[in-house]
Amino acid sequence: MRPAPAVSRPGAGVRVTVRALLEASIAKLERAGVSYGHGTTNALDEAAWLILRSLGLPPTDLNSHLDDALTAAQSTAAKKLIDRRIRTRKPAAYLLHEAWLGPHRFYVDERVIVPRSYIAELLNRGQTPRSTPRNAESVPGSVLDLCSGSGCLAILAALRWPGAMVDAADISADALEVAKRNVRDYKLEDRVRLVRSDLFEALAGRKYDLIVSNPPYVKASSMARLPEEYRKEPGMALASGIDGLDHTRAILREAKRHLNRGGTLIVEIGRNRKALEKAFPTLAFEWPKTSGGRGYLFTLGRESLP
């Protein structure tokens, strides 16, 4: 995309267009070597998100505004936001206090990890869980979002299944405060319950038709090499031991006693598929297809759990 020429208007002086500012911002982000992965994967999408939101526009509405002329104040505000992204290395989601999972917006700040989950894809596209690959699809009446963070998966589950009661559990009191705000924003206080819990610790006796979890899964060697943007997130929401499976092991040990008959467990594990299958060679993991391919999350029916 080539920068558009500046637009001149009588009596208004010379104004730059969104297109020109976008091109300049892309070049600036690329020169600075910022890292992505918190809602975008490249400089174009990152710059577009920051510029559009600085203008009060939806982040998906770029094309219809490319040739809009900006006032000096608008241009300055957008440039300051781009510069702040580079200077602080904070993910754009923290600067804008928003993260998107499909069409759904969630409030975020530094108290929670920026939500990004392949499980959200399953929920957004209406893929209902199966207790085993051969059983008929079922509609869960009770759902647990374990390691809930900002509460996004719990909210998506509640939206997907209007009759379901949902628990959102997290060890972090700060994270639950953010989740409380998101639950309130979606007016789901009557169906989404927030629980402070170290995994299943505070959930004794509670059982669910579906458990979803996007737990910490970054292994120690990867934690040591994380880009600065990822270090702005709470470390406890990322690190999970030497091989990245400490939390997943604990979930697999306890999940069966918290699932109803025919229930399903869905867990996201990042790039740890080989390590997981080596650690649990007898478990019949299913690997649903996601936009990233297969192998980033697994499902297990209750009857297949240890």
108-304 maps to which CATH number? Answer: 3.40.50.150
Confidence of residue 13 (pLDDT cuts 50, 70, 90): low
State residue 7's pLDDT score: 38
Q: What SS3 state is found at 185?
A: helix
Q: Which whole number is the average pLDDT over 123-151?
A: 76
For the stretch 197-238, pLDDT in tens is 999 999 999 999 999 999 999 999 999 999 999 999 999 999
Q: Would you state the structure tokens that stand for residue 145, as one six-digit string?
A: 């979002």
Select the more confidently predicted residue: 4 or 125: 125
Fold of 7-96: Helicase, Ruva Protein; domain 3 (1.10.8)
Q: Would you state the structure tokens that stand for residue 212, as one six-digit string?
A: 């979803």
Instruction: Compute the distance between CA of residue 20 and CA of residue 1 in angstroms, rounded to an integer.
Output: 10
**CA within 13 Å, CB half, 297:** 24
pTM: 0.90
For the stretch 38-66, pLDDT in tens is 999 999 999 999 999 999 999 888 999 99
Select the more confidently predicted residue: 127 or 4: 127
Q: Which whole number is the average pLDDT over 13-29?
A: 91
Q: Which positions ≥6 away from 249 have C-beta within 8 Å?
A: 279
Q: Which of 174, 167, 175 is nearest to 150 (CA)?
A: 175
State residue 62's pLDDT score: 93
State residue 15's pLDDT score: 77
Pairing of strands 192-196, 165-170: parallel
7-96 and 108-304 agree in CATH topology:
no
Domain chopping of the chain, boundaries: 7-96, 108-304
Instruction: Compute the distance between CA of residue 176 and CA of residue 266 in angstroms, rounded to an integer.
Output: 21
For the stretch 241-254, pLDDT in tens is 999 999 999 999 99
pLDDT over 80 (residue 131)? no
State residue 120's pLDDT score: 96
Find the radius of gyration of the CA atoms of the chain. Answer: 21
Q: Which positions ≥6 away from 214 have C-beta within 8 Å?
A: 117, 119, 147, 149, 153, 267, 268
State residue 124's pLDDT score: 87
Instruction: Compute the distance between CA of residue 79 and CA of residue 41 in angstroms, rounded to an integer.
Output: 20
Residue-wise burial string across 165-196, b where 16 or more C-beta atoms lie within 10 A, e elsewhere: bbbbbbbbeebbebbebbbeebebeebbebbe
Confidence of residue 129 (pLDDT cuts 50, 70, 90): low
Confidence of residue 10 (pLDDT cuts 50, 70, 90): very low
Amino acid, res. 235: G
Query: Could you tell me how far CA 147 lies from the centroid of its own chain?
Result: 12
For the stretch 168-185, pLDDT in tens is 999 999 999 999 999 999
DSSP structural state of residue 133: T
State residue 127's pLDDT score: 67
pLDDT over 50 (residue 32)? yes
